[in-house]
Structure 1
Amino acid sequence: MRERVRALEVEEGQLTQSATALEHEEEMSRGEVAHGQADREGREERVKQLVGEQESLRLRTETANGELTGLRIKVAAGSERGESARKELESLVTQRQDMETRIARLQATVVEGATRTEELERRISSTEGGLSQRAEEHKLAAEGLESRRAAHTTASAEVREQDTLFRDLRGRVDELMQGLSQISLREREIALELEHLAAGIRERHQVELANELHKYHLLPALAPETEAELKDLRAQVEKMGEINLTAIDEHAELSKRYDFLIAQKQDLQSSIEQLKDAIQRIDATSRERFKQTFDVVNEKFQAIFPRLFGGGRASLILTNDGPGGEPGVEIVAQPPGKKLQSVNLLSGGEKALTAVGLIFGIFLIKPTPFCLLDEVDAPLDEGNVGRYNDMVKEMSKQSQFILITHNKRTMEVSNTLYGVTMEEPGISKLVSVRMREAGAANDDKVTAA
C-alpha cells in the first residue's frame, strides 16, 4: 500500500505539473490574443487617423488648387504684382508637392497597416484554434486528475486506518520494551551492588561473600539477645563512618602549608619592622632638615620684616599637635606702634605685607629664575608700597620679577610695561613700553626744548 501511495503521489505530481504547464500555456495564449487584439485596435485607430489626415490633406489640396487658380487670375489681371504672385505660386507648388509626397507616404502606411492587420487576424485565428485544442486537452487531463484524486483519497483513507493500527501496535511494543529495559537496568544495578558488596567484604574482611553466605545459612538461628547485640554493634559501626585512609597525607600537606604560611608571616613582620625603622629615620631626617630650614627662614624673615614695615619685629614659632603629630608654623608680628600678636589679628594690608616678607625670606634662601606676584600691592598703603617696591628692586638683581599691578608707583619702578587696551569695542590690543627708553626719549625732548 505504501508503494502504491508513493506511485500515486508521483503520478499526482506529474499531473499537477502538466496541469500547471497547460495553465501557463493558456495564459500565454490569452496574453498573445489580448496583445493581438490591442495591436489590431491600435492599427485600426491609426488607419482612421491616417484616413482623417488624408482627407484633411485632400481638402488642403483642393483649397491650394483654388488659391492657385485665384492667383493665376490675379497674375493675369495685374502685371504689377506678377513677380510676387509668381513667387507665391512657386511656394504653393512646393507645398503641393510636399503634400503629395506626404499623401503617398500615408497611403503606403495605410497599405502596410492593412497588411499587418491581416497578419494579426491570421495569428488570432491560429491562436484561437490552438487555444480550443489545448482547452480540450486540459479538460480531459482535469477529468483524469479528478478520477485519480478520488482513487488517491480512498487509498489514503485505507493507509490512515492501517497506520493507526500500526501505531497502536508500536505503542504497545514500546511499552513492553520500556518495561524490559527498566527490568534489565534494575537487574544490572543489583548485580553491580552485589559485586561491590562482595569486593568491599573481600577487601575489608579478607573473605568471600558467597562462602560466608553459605556458611551463614548452615548456622543455627541466633538467640534474641544475640540478635539485639548484633544490631547494636552494627549501629555503632555505622556511626563511626568510613575510615579516612588519606588523613595522614592530608595532615602532611596541611603541615607543610602551615610551615610555609608561618615563614611568610615572619617575612612580613620583618619587612614591617624594617619599614618602621626606615620611616622613623626618614621622619628624624625630615624633622632635622625642616628645623634647619625653619631657622634659616626665620632669620631671613626677621631681617626682612622691619625693612618692609619700617620697623617692628616678627618671628616664626614651631607648634606641635602632640606626640607623633606633624609640627606646624605660627607667625607672630609686631608692626611699628602695635603690640606683638598673631598674624590672624592684623589688618588686610598688614597680613599681605607679612606674607610677602615670608615669601621673600624663603626666596632669599633658594631663589628661582622667575617670580610672579599677582596684585600683591593692592591692599598696601603708599608708604608700604614704596618699601615693597624697594625690596622687589633689590631682589630683581638675582631673579626676574613679573608683577601684575594697577599701582602707578609699582609701574614706575618696572623696566618694561605690558598692557591691554581696547581702542575699538570688541578688539583688544597689546601695548608694551620700555621705561628706560621712554625716559631717555623724554629727556631728549626736554633738552631740545
Structure 2
Amino acid sequence: FMEIASETGEIKKAGSKLQKLRSKFTALKTRRSEFKKRIDDLKQKIRESEEELEEAEARAKQVKESIRELREEIDELSEKAKNQENKSKKNQEKIDSLKEAREDLRVKEAEIKTELKEAEKKREKYDIKIKRTPRTPIKKLRGQIKKLEREIEKLKPINERAIESYKKVKKRYDSQRGHYDKLMDEKQALLDFMEEIDQKKAEVFMETFKEIAENFSEIFSELSPGGSGRLFLENPEDPFEGGLEIEARPAGKKLLNINSLSGGEKALTALSFIFAIQRTKPSALYVLDEIGAHLDPENEKRVAKMLKKSSEESQIVVITLKDAMMAVADRLFGVHMDKSNISHLVSVDLEELA
C-alpha cells in the first residue's frame, strides 16, 4: 500500500506540474497571439496608409498638372488683360484729347457765330456791306467736329471678353488650388500618421533591445565568470537602418568582436544571446541541437544550469550527447536501432528516478 500511495503521490505531483506547465503554455500562447495581432494590426495600418498616400500623391500630381496648365492660361490671359488695359488707357487718353479738341472747335464755332451776329447787326445798323471772311468757316469747323466725334466713337468699344475670360480662369485656378492644398494637407496627415507608427515601432524596439542587452550582459557574465559582453546598435539614431553588433570579453581575454572569438566562445556568446531573448520575451518551446559541441566541461555545466533555470519559463528540447546536459533534464528520450535496423524510442523520467 505504501508503494501505491507513493506512486499516487508522484502521479499527483506530476499532474500538478503538468497542469502548471499547461497553464504557462496557454498564457504564453495567448501573449504570443496578442503580440502577433498587434503586429498584424500595425502592418495593416501601414499598408492602408501607404495605399492612401499613393492615391493622394496621384491625385495631387493630377491637380498639380491642372494648376500648371491653368497658371499658363492665367499668365496668357493676364498678359492679354494687361495689354487690353494699357490699350484702353491709351484710348481713354486719346478720347479725352479728342473731346478737348472737339470742345475747342465748338468754342471757336460759337465765337464765330457771335462775331457773325455782331457783324450782321452792324451791317443792318449802318447799312454797309461786310465781306464775310471769318478765319475758319463754320462748315469746315462742323466737319472737323463730326470727324472728332467719329474717332471718339471708334475708340469707345473696349474688348471686355479678355478680362472676363481671365476672371473665369482665375476662379477655376483658385478652386483647383484649394483642392490641391487640401490634398497636400491629407498627404501630410498620412505622413504624420506613418511617422507616429514608425516612432512607436522604434520605441518598442528600443525598449525591448535595452532589456535584451541588459540580460545579455548579465547572462554572459554568468556563463563566463570574470568575463563581460555587450550588445550595441550600429546606428542608434535610426536602429532600422543598421545592424546589431556583439562584443564579448571571455575571462582572461581582451574585448573582441564576435567574429574574432574561438568556436567555443562563439557558442557561449550565441547561447547568451538566445537566453537573453528568452528571458525578455519567452517563447513556449525551444529546440536546441548540439549546443555543447564546442564547449569545455566547465562551460557545459554552466550552460546546463542556465537551461534548467530557463525551463521554468519555457519548454526546452535539447539534442545532445553531453552528460552535463542530460543530468539536468526532467526526461530523457533515446533512440536505438535493433538487429533488424528498426529504430526504437526509449523514454526515461529522471524525476521519478530521483
Taking structure 1 as the reference length, the TM-score comes to 0.38
Which of these two proteins has the greater Rg computed from alpha carbons?
1
Q: Which has the higher contact order (CA 8 A, sep 6+)?
A: 2
Q: Which has the higher helix share?
A: 1
Q: TM-score, normalised by structure 2?
A: 0.47
